[in-house]
Chain A
Amino acid sequence: MTEQLEYHHGQSKAVRELLVFTLGQEEYGIDILKVQEIRGYEAVTRIANAPAFIKGVVNLRGSIVPIVDMRIKFGLGEPVYNAFTVVIILNIFQRTVGMVVDGVSDVIQLAEDELRDPPEFGSVVETTYIEGLGTQGERMVIIVDIERLMSSDEMALVDITDRG
């Protein structure tokens, strides 16, 4: 992804636009082009025998869309559901998936020189889905490859046979 952008826009100009959401005290950024819309939380239909972080499915204008609670998945923040609970609807690998987060803070533009390599934590923290760290002054945004995360085995969102 990063290489592609460099290739198209040249080294210095590469700017990535990210949607930043919060989970607990942490800020995460995802490629804004993967975001379809942001909605409030509505009652879901539970799916039997699914992992706890898969809340269920909702009717999104006629499509059946699964809802994942990232707070449960990452063990961050309080999984409460009220009028202020936010769901980010993602459009990834030709699918629509809803993602519950603590809140959406803003949209930032990140220049190439504000990008840092993902940290090495050894086996303490799973860093496969972290593309890098974005820094703007004191602020640090964890940039997540949301497509890779959502299609991973541990999310249990996709059948193994469906994965490309």
Chain B
Amino acid sequence: MSQFHQVFFDETDEHLATMESVLLGIDLAAPDGEDLNAIFRAAHSIKGGAATFGFADLAALTHILENLLDKVRKGSMRLTADMVDACLNAKDVLAAMLGAHRGGEAVANPAISAVETWLEGLVAGGSAVAPPLAEAAQSPAEPAVCTTLYVELDCCLPATDYQALLQSLTALGELSVVQEGGGHDQLPWVLIFTSTLAADEVAESLAFSISPEHFRITQDHGQQDEGDFGLFLSSSIAIPTQTAAASIAFEDDGFGLFEPLAPAAGDSGPAADMLYEEDGFGLFAPVAGPAAAPAAPAMLHEEEGFGLFAPLEPAAPEQAVAAVPTVAAVAAPRQERAAPAVENSIRVNIDKVDLLLNLVGELVITQSMLTQSSQELDAVQYERLLGGISALQRNSRELQEAVMSIRMTPIAFVFNRFPRVVRDLAGKLGKQIELKMVGENTELDKGFIEKLADPLTHLVRNSLDHGVEAPEVRVAKGKSAVGRLTLRAFHQGSSIVIEVTDDGAGLNRERILAKARERGMPVSDALSDSEVWGLIFEAGFSTATEVTDVSGRGVGMDVVKRNIQSMGGRIDIDSMPDFGTTISIRLPLTLAIMDGMSVRVGHDIYVIPLSFVLESLQPQAQELKTVAGRGQLVNVRGQYLPIVSLAAFFGNADAVAASDPTRAILVIVEAGGYQLALLVDELIGQQQFVVKNLETNYRKVEGMSGATIMGDGRVALILDISIIARHNQRPAPTAARQAMTDEA
């Protein structure tokens, strides 16, 4: 059962996401029918699934939501901004409930009942028909057994009695009036009644109000076809004896295109032809009656949508035939439009993909071992073997790329939340924002998707709060009142770049410097712009004049930077006063593979992630300085950087570097805003490494972020530069100052 639950959870996530994105995009003045349908379908699917799996709370809330949406969809209520807000709110609560079922924190009851009351208020507010009682919702395990009944009432009662009757029916289920009775023609009332009650139960309750010979109840068999592409005709459901003929074409939920024809009305007993289509793409035309008779009133009822129909004069058969091709032609594009929604994909557990990735990684390692040992072979003698090995190399690389691409997910999964974030925030801040998203289909590793959400949300909030100015300020500056925020993703080399660009005020150099001084940071006016921008990533740094609940608490930008770095990426800022700010995040394409530089320290090989490496150099004796006889510094183009000997850090006694740095190599790295020089024996090379977790079978090792397997099958450890930098607790600027006083 639990595997079905998982599928339900995943699907519900998707439905909720669809609902949200459509709600955000909807045009209040003229909502597109297809959009409304999409939202309704999403709610409907969630309700069905929740009821099937026994998630009563989800089903109950979606039921109310569905009622509201249904009314809007059918045009009996106008869509208002309040409704959109209520629906979005309901979506949030549903997502939280879903989280609770997944094993997360339970949703507070007040939150649920608040949104339920809101929705119910909306349902009741704009409609003469009261919302159906929650009975169906409260026993949501069985909404599938809902039956749709046709109820015909003779008009032999006063109108007020009908109203009372209708109300009593509404209390039991969903009621819609197809035809109002009465008037000069003495038409019968035709109602469609959907409820969990069976026909005889409805009959019983009706019998309280009117005598049995004045009403008829027929079950609608079309219900079974719900969800199908039903093409059916239900003809002559009931034959009223005293009333005029009524041909009723009814369409509930689909895109029916039909041409009702006047029925063959015999003089003795007029027939009621009913066309009913519940949920599909119906293409149908009723067959003309055998004998043309005096015109009878043809009733057409269309609930919503795309019906193209015209009542015809009492049928001439050839007319009906002629009508059919037209109908089909119009309907065909609709089906084509629906087709892309069916995704050609399968759901696979991420563990399986990771296993595949691991195995392919193994294959690549084995292959490189083979390549390495084959290099000693005589090229002529072993031509075929060597040819095979190079083919294997090519194939395994392609295989690796293909497997890697399975893990790739479009960044749209992260971007999709931002229309909502921006909408909510813009409202809260009283700003006008236009959000533009570019390159949503850029793919990146699935592992990044979840980790990117928080940092990106933070950046977007920051841009809206601090970057984009209030409308009146913008107008005063000669800009358009609507601020523009752009999210852009693209590939560049072997990394993916994500940019958050606003056309706001830009960063204020003076204010950042002032703030830095206030916080006692050693800064000078000579700092370059990018160095100044870098300051905002310091912990506790916020230049917002007042703290809002959106941002300004000074927690965040440092966390953002740390998060991005932990993914092996980096973050840059570009800003121009009054032109705006661009913050770009650069990430490796995948988590599982990392660009690194392998270095030798004594007999050990370590890998330094390339994203931390600035440069490497061989120090000259005159560039090396000491502080107080112990700390070593190196002068790199006027900047004094502390030297960290990896040999000393890891206790390698066999490294030569420790004794004589001029025979060794310095790798300049930057982490957490500090630059330092790592002393190693030798640079081995730069290549891609398959990252393995050390904690799977062992524990976290201080100063290591993971391990990798080298071409010869041996394990090399990957250095965690930020930990090493933190260990070397002396911040670089302070060290540099010390060095300067030393020299003076």
Contact = CB atoms under 8 A, between A and B. Distances in A.
Interface stretch (A5-13, A57-65, A109-117): A57-65
Contacts of B693: 64
A162 interface: yes
Contacts of B652: 48
A45 B652 CA distance: 12
Interface in B669-704: 692-704
A58 B264 CA distance: 87
B650 A49 contact: yes
Nearest to A98: B697
Given A45-B716, A46-B604, A159 B697 contact: no
B697 A45 contact: no
A95 B693 CA distance: 12
A162 to B, nearest CB: 7
A156 interface: yes
B604 A65 contact: no
B365 A96 contact: no
Given A59-B715, A64-B692, A48 B697 contact: no
A64 B650 contact: no
A158 interface: yes
B434 interface: no
B699 A59 contact: no
Nearest to A47: B701
Residue from A48, A62, A63 with most neighbouring chain B CB atoms (10 Å): A48
A59 B717 CA distance: 12
A57 B707 contact: yes
Given A62-B365, A64-B707, A162-B695, A48 B714 contact: no
**Listed residue (A44, A46, A159) with the most chain B CB atoms within 10 angstroms of its CB:** A46
A134 interface: no
A49 B715 contact: no
A64 B695 CA distance: 9
A43 B361 contact: no
B391 interface: no
B588 to A, nearest CB: 20
B229 interface: no
B651 interface: yes
A23 interface: no
Interface string A103-137: 00000000000000000000000000000000000
B359 interface: yes
Nearest to B710: A59
Contacts of B699: 156-159, 162
A63 B696 contact: yes
B700 A64 contact: no
B649 interface: yes
Most chain B beta-carbon neighbours within 10 Å: one of A46, A58, A64: A64
B709 interface: yes
A154 to B, nearest CB: 13
A64 B697 contact: yes
B716 A95 contact: no
A132 to B, nearest CB: 28
Interface string B713-726: 11111000000000
Given A45-B716, A46-B604, A47-B717, A64 B702 contact: no
Contacts of A66: 697-698
A64 B361 contact: no
A62 B714 contact: no
A162 B701 CA distance: 14
A43 B714 contact: yes
Contacts of A157: 698-699
B358 interface: yes
Given A64-B693, A64-B698, A95-B697, A59 B703 contact: no
Contacts of B715: 44-45, 56-59, 64
Interface string A36-74: 000000011111111000001111011111100000000
B363 to A, nearest CB: 9
B225 interface: no
A97 interface: yes
A45 B714 contact: yes
A19 to B, nearest CB: 20
B604 A59 contact: no
Interface string B44-85: 000000000000000000000000000000000000000000
Contacts of B605: 45
Contact of A59 (B700, B704, B709): B709
B362 interface: yes
A152 to B, nearest CB: 13
Contacts of A64: 692-694, 696-698, 707, 709, 715
A162 B700 CA distance: 10
A26 B94 CA distance: 63
A48 B651 CA distance: 7
Nearest to B602: A46
Nearest to B703: A48
Nearest to A45: B715
Interface in B613-662: 649-652
Contacts of B713: 59
A82 to B, nearest CB: 19
A97 B714 contact: no
Interface in A126-156: 156
A63 B697 CA distance: 8
B258 to A, nearest CB: 62
A49 to B, nearest CB: 6
A63 to B, nearest CB: 6
B601 to A, nearest CB: 10
Contacts of A65: 697-698
Given A48-B651, A48-B701, A96-B697, A61 B362 contact: yes
Contacts of B704: 47
A97 B700 CA distance: 15
B657 to A, nearest CB: 15
Contact of A50 (B361, B692, B701): B701
B458 to A, nearest CB: 27
A74 to B, nearest CB: 20
Nearest to B692: A64
A156 B700 CA distance: 10
A95 B696 contact: yes
A57 B365 contact: no
Contacts of B365: 59, 62
B709 A57 contact: no
Contacts of A97: 697
B650 A57 contact: no
Contacts of B649: 48
18 contacts: A44-B715, A45-B605, A45-B715, A45-B717, A47-B698, A48-B701, A48-B703, A49-B701, A50-B701, A57-B717, A62-B692, A63-B692, A64-B693, A64-B694, A64-B707, A66-B698, A159-B695, A159-B700
Interface of B: 358-359, 361-362, 365, 604-605, 649-652, 692-704, 707, 709, 713-717
A-B residue pairs, 9 tightest by C-beta: A48-B650, A45-B715, A66-B698, A62-B362, A159-B699, A64-B707, A95-B697, A59-B709, A96-B697
Interface of A: 43-50, 56-59, 61-66, 95-97, 156-159, 162
Given A48-B649, A59-B715, 6 more contacts: A47-B704, A57-B707, A63-B697, A65-B698, A96-B697, A162-B695
